Amino acid sequence: MPLVEKPQLLFNQSSLPTDRETFIKKEECYFTVMLCGSSGTGKTTFCNNLFSSLVKSPKSVDNFSKVHKQKEVHIEKTKAIIKEDDFRLNLTVLDTVGFGDFINNKDCWDVITDYLDDQHEKYLLHDQQSLRLQRKDSRVHLCLYFIKPVPYGMLPLDVVAMNKLSKHVNVIPVIAKADSLTKPELDSLKGKINKILQAQNITLFFPSAIYSADEIAKDLSQACPFAIVASKEAVNDENEGKIGRKYPWGTSEIENEDHCDFSKLKNLIINNHMLELIQSTEKVIYERYRQEQLINRKNGIPKLKKAHYERLNEEKARIQKKVEEKSVELENTFKEREEKLAVVRDDLNNELAEYHDKVRILETQLDALRNYKGKNQKK
Amino acid sequence: MPLVEKPQLLFNQSSLPTDRETFIKKEECYFTVMLCGSSGTGKTTFCNNLFSSLVKSPKSVDNFSKVHKQKEVHIEKTKAIIKEDDFRLNLTVLDTVGFGDFINNKDCWDVITDYLDDQHEKYLLHDQQSLRLQRKDSRVHLCLYFIKPVPYGMLPLDVVAMNKLSKHVNVIPVIAKADSLTKPELDSLKGKINKILQAQNITLFFPSAIYSADEIAKDLSQACPFAIVASKEAVNDENEGKIGRKYPWGTSEIENEDHCDFSKLKNLIINNHMLELIQSTEKVIYERYRQEQLINRKNGIPKLKKAHYERLNEEKARIQKKVEEKSVELENTFKEREEKLAVVRDDLNNELAEYHDKVRILETQLDALRNYKGKNQKK
C-alpha cells in the first residue's frame, strides 16, 4: 500500500462546509472510485494523474493477453493511503479489467453490478448487527465511465452498461483520449452523448447546488461528459514540468483547460464534491438498495445474483436432459411391458381356447353319459 | 456515380512495367477496396483522402443509430469512376457498416467472408460459361483492416477477424486515428501488432520485389501496419491548403511523413501496387477458391454458407422439439394402451377363472356320473 505524503494541491478543504471540516479531519475517510471502460482508454494513467501520484502501476502487455485468455471481466483492486496534514484518505481504486474487450460482451456488466451490490450487502449485514463500531466502508462512491472518442456518440455497449451501472453507483461519464478529437468534433460529441443519455433516461451523479456555488455547478454541467487526456510523462521543452502528451505537431497538456476538462473533473472529485459523492452513495444509492432488499427478501436471504441464476439455469438444463433420457427409458420399458403383456394375453387366449376345447369335450362326454344314464333308468 | 476528372497526382504510371502500360491504358480497370473496422475509425474520411475526392459521403448520425438497430453487419457499396487521361478506373468502395459495434460481435466477420466468397463464386460461374466476354470483376482486391489505436496491440476481435479475412482477400492492416498516439507509443504499438500477426500466422498482402524497387519494399515493410490520420478538411493558417486535423496544440497533416504513413500507403495502393493487388487476387486468392470449390463441391453445387447453416440449425431445433412432443404423446398412448391391455388381461383372467370353475363343476358332475355308471354296470 503506497503511502503518499503531501501530494501537490490535493485537498482544498476551504470549500467543504466549515462545521464538517474538523470532524472530517479527525475521522478517517474512505473513498472508492471505480474506473470502467475498455482496455487502452487510459484508465490507469488517468487515475495516477487524478491523485498526482503513482497509485496504480501500468499493466504489462503479458498481463493483458492473460486477461483476454480468461474470457471474463474481473475487478482489480488497488489501495493507497493519501495523507495531507492530519487528514488520511483511504483510497481504493477499482479497475474493470477486460470490460468490453471480448468478441462477445453480453452481460459483461453483471460482474460489476454484482460487485457493487456485494459491497452494499456487506454494509447492510454490518448495519444489522448489534455492535456496529469500526465498520469499514467498501462501497463504491464513484464510477467513472470511459467512453471511447467515437465521433458518432456512444456504442450500444456503453448505453446499456451505463444504464445498468447508474442504478448501483454514482456514474460520471468521461470521454477518454479526448486529444484525438478536434474542438468542433469534441463539442459535437458531447452534444450527442448528452442527447443519448437524456433519451435513454440515464441518471448520472450531478453535484447539487448545496455544496457548490451556482456558477461552478453551471460550469460543470456544461463540461459534462468530461473530455480527458491522460499522460504518464512530464513534458519538457517549452511546457516545462507540465504533464502532457508530446506529438510531432504539438503538445497537449492535461491541466490546460483549453486542451481538455481534466482540471474541472479533478476539482469536482477531489476538491469540491468528494464528500457529496460519499453522502450520495450513503443516502441515495445504499438506501435504495437497503429498502429494496428489506422489502423483497424472504427470511433475510439476499436476492439471487446473476451468477447464481446461471448456475440454476445450468442445473435446470441438466435436469431437463435427465428427464428426457428418463422418458426415452420409460418409453422403452413401456414397449417391453406391452410386448410382454401381449405375450401374456396371447398365452391366456390360448389357455382359454384349450379350456374351451376341454369344456367342449367334457360337455360331450357329459352328454354321452347323461344319455347313457337316461337309457339305463328307462330299463 | 460521381465522375471525377483528373484528381491530382493520382496515377504515377511510370512505375508500372512499361509493356503493360499501353495495355492497361486501353482496358477499363476495375478496382474494389473494402474498408473493414468499427464505426468511428475514420474509414469514410480515409477513403476520400485516398482518392483525393469525395467518393463516399459521410454517414449521418441518424443513419448510425439505424445501423445499430439492425443488429447485423451489412456491406455498403459506393461506386465511382475516376478518369485520368485515357485511363478509366472503375472504383468500388465497400464499407462494413456495424462491424465490431455490437455488444455481441460473435461471427460478425461471416457476413464479410460470405460476401467475398460470393464475388469469387460469381466470377467462377462466369468462368465456366462458354461465352466469357465482358465479365465484370466484382471481386474485392484489397481489404484495409482498421485497427483501433489501443496501446496494448490488437483486441481478440481484430485477431480473429483478420485471420478469417486473410484467407479470402488481400489484407493490409492500418492503425486508425494514429494522431492519438505519440511517436514512441506508435512505434511500440507497431512492434506489438507485428508480433501478434506473426504469432497468429496471419498472412497479409505484401508487395513483392518484382514490381517495386527493393528499397521501396523495405521502406513499406518497416511502415506496416500503416499508421493513418484521416481528415475531411483543409487546414488554413500556416499549413495552407494541406489536409489535416487542427488541435488546440497543433495541426497534424495527413500527407506529412513525420506525422503518419498515409502517403506511403497511398503510394502502395494507388501508384505502385494496384496492378499487383489485382493480380494477386486473380492468381492467388481466386485460384485457391476455384481449386477448393472444384475439388470439394458435389454436382457443381457451391458449399453451404454460414447463413444456411444457421437456417439448418433452426430447422434442426424445430424438428427436435417436434420429436420431443411426439415422444410425450407416444408415452401417453403407451400408458393408455397398457391400461387397456391390463383390463383385457384381467377380464381374460376372470373369464379363465370362471371356466376353471365351470370345468371343476363339470368334472365333479362327470365324476358323479362315472360313479353312477360304474355302480350300474356292476349290477
- For chains A and B, what is the number of CB pairs under 8 angstroms? 180
Q: Output the DSSP codes for A221-239.
A: HHHPSEE----SSEE-TTS
CA A160 to chain centre: 11
Which residue in the set A39, A258, A366 is minimally distant from B369, CB to CB?
A366
Interface of B with A in 133-162 (CB under 8 A): 148-153, 155-157, 160
Interface of A with B in 170-229 (CB under 8 A): 177, 179-180, 182-183, 192
Indicate if the pLDDT at residue B283 is higher than 80.
yes
3-state secondary structure at position A245: strand
DSSP bridge pairs for B251: B246
The whole-angstrom distance between B105's CA and the closest CA on chain A is: 5
Tell me the per-residue pLDDT of A155-192, one tens digit each, with 9 for 90 and over: 889 999 999 999 999 999 999 999 889 989 899 999 99
**Strands B250-253, B242-247: parallel, antiparallel or unpaired by DSSP?**
antiparallel
Q: Locate the chain B residue with the closest alpha carbon to A342.
A: B341
Interchain contact, A373 vs B373, CB within 8 Å: yes
User: Can you tell me the mean pLDDT for B214-233?
Assistant: 82
| Model confidence band, residue B325 (pLDDT cutoffs 50, 70, 90) | confident
Q: What is the pLDDT of residue B172?
A: 92
Tell me the per-residue pLDDT of B247-258, one tens digit each, with 9 for 90 and over: 888 888 888 888
Query: Do A136 and A148 meet the contact criterion of CB atoms below 8 Å apart?
Result: no
Look-up of cell digits 493519501: A82
Which residue in the set B39, B249, B355 is minimally distant from A352, CB to CB?
B355
| Grid cell listed for B168 | 479470402
* Cα gap B17→B31, rounded to integer Å: 18
DSSP bridge pairs for A334: none
Q: What is the pLDDT of residue A311?
A: 67
Query: Do A174 and A225 meet the contact criterion of CB atoms below 8 Å apart?
Result: yes
Interchain contact, A259 vs B250, CB within 8 Å: no
| Model confidence band, residue A66 (pLDDT cutoffs 50, 70, 90) | low
Residue A84, phi then psi, degrees to nearest 5: -140, 115
Give yes or no for A39 touching B (CB within 8 A).
yes
Length of chain B: 379
Give yes or no for B344 touching A (CB within 8 A).
yes
The whole-angstrom distance between A351's CA and the closest CA on chain B is: 8
Of A193, A15, A34, A52, the C-alpha closest to A111 is A34
The whole-angstrom distance between A25's CA and the closest CA on chain B is: 40
| Model confidence band, residue B7 (pLDDT cutoffs 50, 70, 90) | very low
Upper half-sphere CA count for residue B101 (Cβ side, 13 Å): 27
Chain B contact set for A153 (CB, 8 A):
61, 64
Interchain contact, B156 vs A61, CB within 8 Å: no
Give yes or no for A106 touching B (CB within 8 A).
yes
Chain B contact set for A358 (CB, 8 A):
359
Lowest mean pLDDT among B125-134, B199-208, B286-295, B344-353: B125-134
- What are the percentages of helix, strand and coil residues in chain B, rounded to 5? 50, 15, 35
Tell me the per-residue pLDDT of A73-117, one tens digit each, with 9 for 90 and over: 888 888 888 887 777 888 899 999 888 888 888 888 888 998 998
The whole-angstrom distance between B41's CA and the closest CA on chain A is: 7
Interchain contact, A150 vs B103, CB within 8 Å: no
Interchain contact, B328 vs A331, CB within 8 Å: no
Give yes or no for A242 touching B (CB within 8 A).
no
Q: What is the DSSP letter of A138?
A: -
| Model confidence band, residue B143 (pLDDT cutoffs 50, 70, 90) | very high
Give yes or no for B257 touching A (CB within 8 A).
no
> What contacts A326, CB < 8 A, 6 or more positions away?
none
Of A111, A113, A96, the C-alpha closest to A39 is A96
Lowest mean pLDDT among A164-168, B101-105, B318-322: B318-322
* Cα gap B157→B172, rounded to integer Å: 16
Interface of A with B in 264-323 (CB under 8 A): none
Interchain contact, B251 vs A249, CB within 8 Å: yes
Interchain contact, A335 vs B337, CB within 8 Å: no
Residue A6, phi then psi, degrees to nearest 5: 45, 65
| Grid cell listed for B332 | 401417453
Interchain contact, B345 vs A342, CB within 8 Å: no
Residue bearing the bigger pLDDT, A312 or A224: A224
- What are the percentages of helix, strand and coil residues in chain A, rounded to 5? 50, 15, 35
| Model confidence band, residue A363 (pLDDT cutoffs 50, 70, 90) | confident
| Model confidence band, residue B6 (pLDDT cutoffs 50, 70, 90) | very low
Of A130, A99, A129, the C-alpha closest to A115 is A99
User: Can you tell me the mean pLDDT for A204-216?
Assistant: 66
Return the sign of the alpha-carbon dihedral for residues B182, B185, B191, B193: negative
* Cα gap B106→A251, rounded to integer Å: 39
Chain B contact set for A177 (CB, 8 A):
180
CB-based burial label for B247 (10 Å; 0-12, 13-18, 19+): buried
Single-letter amino acid code for the residue at B21: E
Indicate if the pLDDT at residue B289 is higher than 60.
yes
A29-36 β-sheet, strand order: A3-5, A74-84, A87-97, A29-36, A142-147, A171-175, A226-227
Of B97, B61, B62, B63, the C-alpha closest to B78 is B97
Q: What is the pLDDT of residue B9?
A: 47
Query: Do A172 and A226 meet the contact criterion of CB atoms below 8 Å apart?
Result: yes
Indicate if the pLDDT at residue B146 is higher than 50.
yes
Of B222, B227, B234, the C-alpha closest to B258 is B227
Upper half-sphere CA count for residue B59 (Cβ side, 13 Å): 22
Interchain contact, A155 vs B39, CB within 8 Å: yes
Which residue in the set A248, A251, A330 is minimally distant from B331, CB to CB?
A330
Indicate if the pLDDT at residue B18 is higher than 60.
no
Q: Locate the chain B residue with the closest alpha carbon to A379.
A: B376
The whole-angstrom distance between B202's CA and the closest CA on chain A is: 18
Chain B contact set for A348 (CB, 8 A):
345, 348-349, 352
Chain B contact set for A347 (CB, 8 A):
none
